[in-house]
Amino acid sequence: MPSSAPIDVEPNASRPQPSARRVPPAPPPREKPLGGLGLLKALRTNPITIWTRRHFDEPIVLRDTIIGPMCVVSDPVAIKHVLVDNAGNYRKGVLQTRVLRPGLGNGLLTAEGESWRSQRRALAPVFTPRLIASFQPAMASVAASLTTRWGELADRTPIDAAREMTHVTLEVLERTIFSDGLASEPATLAQAITRYLDTLGRVHPFDALDLPDWLPRFGRGGGKEALAIFNRAVETIMARRRELLARGEEAPRDLLTFLLEAHMAENGLAPDEVRANIATFIAAGHETTANTLSWSLFLLAFAPEWRERLEKEIDALCGDADLASFAIDRLIITKAVIEEALRLYPPAASMTRQPIGEDEVAGHKVDRRTRVVISPWVLHRHRRLWDEPERFDPSRFLPEARQRIDRFAYLPFGAGPRICIGAGFALQEAIILLAAITRCFRLDLAPLHEVRPVQRVTLRPQGGLPMILRRR
Ligand code: HEM
Asked whether the whole model's pTM tops 0.75, one would answer yes
Percentage of the chain exceeding pLDDT 90:
62
Three-state DSSP at 56 gives helix
194-203, 358-367, 449-458, 460-469: the lowest-pLDDT one: 194-203
Sheet strands side by side (includes 68-73): 60-65, 68-73, 371-374, 351-355, 90-92
Q: Say yes or no: CB of residue 139 within 6 Å of ligand 1.
A: no
Query: How far apart, in whole angstroms, are the C-alpha atoms of residue 278 and residue 232?
Result: 12
What separation in Å is there between the alpha carbon of 430 and the centre of ligand 1?
14
Does 339 have pLDDT greater than 90? Answer: yes
| Degrees to nearest 5, angle at CA 78 with 74 and 84 | 115
What separation in Å is there between the alpha carbon of 384 and the centre of ligand 1?
26
**DSSP 8-state code for residue 451:** P
Q: Say yes or no: CB of residue 280 within 6 Å of ligand 1.
A: yes
Q: Say yes or no: CB of residue 339 within 6 Å of ligand 1.
A: no
Which residues fall within 8 angstroms of residue 55, CB to CB, at 6 or more apart? 29, 61, 72, 74, 375, 378
What separation in Å is there between the alpha carbon of 114 and the centre of ligand 1?
19
pLDDT in tens, 304-328: 999 999 999 999 999 999 999 999 9
Q: Say yes or no: CB of residue 425 within 6 Å of ligand 1.
A: yes
pLDDT of residue 14: 38
pLDDT band at 217 (very low <50, low <70, confident <90, very high): low
Query: How far apart, in whole angstroms, are the C-alpha atoms of residue 252 and residue 282?
Result: 18
Question: Phi and psi for 111 in degrees, rounded to 5?
Answer: -70, 160
Question: Phi and psi for 143 in degrees, rounded to 5?
Answer: -60, -40
- Range 36-471 classified under CATH 1.10.630.10: yes
Ligand 1, atom nearest to 173 Cα = 30
Does 4 have pLDDT greater than 50? Answer: no
Three-state DSSP at 216 gives coil
Nearest Cα to 418, choosing from 7, 1, 44, 109? 109
pLDDT of residue 8: 41
Query: How far apart, in whole angstroms, are the C-alpha atoms of residue 17 and residue 396?
Result: 23
What separation in Å is there between the alpha carbon of 284 and the centre of ligand 1?
6
What separation in Å is there between the alpha carbon of 374 and the centre of ligand 1?
15
Domain boundaries, the chain: 36-471
Q: Say yes or no: CB of residue 79 within 6 Å of ligand 1.
A: no
Q: How many CB atoms lie within 10 A of CB 78?
A: 21
